[in-house]
A and B are shown apart, each in its own frame.
Chain A
Amino acid sequence: MHADTLIDLRAVSGGGMQGLAAGQLVQQATGGDLEAFEELIRRLQRRVYGFAYQHLRDTEEAHDLAQEIFVKLYRNLGRFDVDRPFEPWFWKLAANTTINYRRKRVPLPAEATDEAADESSTFPRHDPALVQALSQLDPSYRLPVLLHYYADLSLEQVARSLNSSVPAIKSRLHRARAQLRNSLAEAEETRGS
């Protein structure tokens, strides 16, 4: 899957950078064009923020992580080979940033946590049982689940992003789904009793 197909293309109409196809944007941003870079992250922000939010379940931290991913993207654009598809390369960078972010993550002060919780509580929770089950999942399982189902990466791309093999990713996804299924069944039982 190439950048052209996956990056949000809602801004195709209009002049300037908004009229450019995603592939062109990536190419221009790689050449150091800041306007192209800005438009690129504008198109990616929803998915990246959503991915960060689903992983961390905290609006404040999701914002920080998304910002860190984009800054890292800017700093590493020079390493991107424009002849290759952008998405797998980008999500690999996003996954690595997420793994390192979790490693260095420190608990927020009580007030900040409350504030963040307030902010996310204003957002209507869709499928709360699944959200709860997902939050109980080990991060090493949650990451491939989010990359595959939420960020819409193929198994090959997830494997490349996480420096793993397709069979290993498949097995992790199966185990993750089995755990989610069990959590959902338990939640249902609790609700029923």
Chain B
Amino acid sequence: MDRVLACARVRVLMEPYVDGELEPAIAAAVRGHLAGCEECRRQHDQAMSLPFRLKALASPPPRETLVAGVMRAVAPTREVAARAWTLLAPEAVLLAFILWYLSGLDGLSSIASGVFDDLQGLAGGTLPAPPQVDVLLLLALIALTAIAGYHLSILIRIAPPGLHNRRHA
């Protein structure tokens, strides 16, 4: 009975014994038991070889499609990046059109004077005359704002991972 208990105790201590983590006196007692117990010695041999066997476990090689699959999964961002660059073209066209339509500084100063007149009208207590809406200019501005907003949302999405949630040490 004593021997059975001793075997059970030794088997509990086997792993720390193999890792050299037992106190010298307990390690010596385990060593003594192993010298006289064939079954525990076999378990000890098993325990000794286990880490090496685990390290030596072989796996089949990964499929050749693994890397390509991952790159495809993150690839939409590549296409979106290309779209982000192409959006610069309509933006540039709209901007050029608006600048041309405003006829340079004369156009800009006429808008500014219109706004100034309206403010004066407000200060004088009378309602400003409704501005003459230039539909073409308005549409161009709306289109430019919409495209720029969409462009911005794309740029946020495709920002390099390093620009998102960077943790500073």
Residues of A within 8 A of B (CB): 29-34, 37-38, 41-42, 45-46, 48-50, 53-54, 59, 62-63, 66-67, 70-71, 74-81, 83-84, 119-120, 123-124, 126-127, 130-131, 134, 145, 149-150, 152, 170, 173-174, 177-178, 180-181, 184-185
Contacts and interface: CB of A to CB of B under 8 A. Distances in A.
A160 B63 CA distance: 30
B56 to A, nearest CB: 7
B162 A126 contact: no
Contacts of A66: 62, 66
Interface residues of B, number: 43
A67 B67 CA distance: 8
A134 B54 CA distance: 9
A167 B14 CA distance: 17
Contacts, number: 130
A181 B62 CA distance: 29
Given A46-B61, A78-B165, A134-B57, 5 more contacts: A67-B70, A71-B73, A74-B70, A80-B167, A83-B169
Contact of A181 (B47, B59, B61): B47
B59 A53 contact: yes
- Which secondary structure characterizes the binding site on chain A? helix
A84 B166 CA distance: 13
- Which secondary structure characterizes the binding site on chain B? helix
A181 B54 CA distance: 12
Scoring B69, B162, B168 by chain A CB atoms within 10 A of each residue's CB, the highest score goes to B162
A79 B61 CA distance: 30
A95 to B, nearest CB: 17
B57 A127 contact: yes
A46 B60 CA distance: 9
A119 B63 CA distance: 11
A67 B161 contact: no
B160 interface: yes
A36 to B, nearest CB: 11
B14 A178 contact: yes
B71 A78 contact: no
Contacts of B166: 78-79
Interface string B7-21: 000011011100101
Nearest to A127: B53
A178 B163 CA distance: 47
B57 A131 contact: yes
Given A38-B71, A178-B11, A126 B58 contact: yes
B3 interface: no
Contacts of B59: 49-50, 53-54, 62, 123
Contact of B56 (A34, A59, A127): A127
Nearest to B12: A178
Given A32-B161, A75-B161, A78-B166, A177 B70 contact: no
